[in-house]
Amino acid sequence: MSSLGEILKNLRGKESLRDAADRIGISHTYLRILEKGVDLRSGNPVKVTADTLKLISDAYNYPYNQLLRAADIIDDETRDELIEESKMKIAEEIINLPEDKRKIIEDLLRTFKNN
How many Cβ atoms sit within 10 Å of the Cβ of residue 21? 20
> pLDDT tens digits, residue range 36-60?
988 888 888 888 998 999 999 999 9
> pLDDT tens digits, residue range 55-88?
999 999 999 888 998 998 877 777 788 788 889 9
Residues 8 and 37 in one domain: yes
Full domain range(s) for residue 64: 4-70
**What is the number of domains present in the chain?**
2
Evaluated on CA atoms 77, 79, 80, 86, the torsion sign reads: positive
What's the confidence (pLDDT) of residue 81?
80
pTM above 0.75, yes or no: no
What's the confidence (pLDDT) of residue 108?
92
Residues 58 and 100 in one domain: no
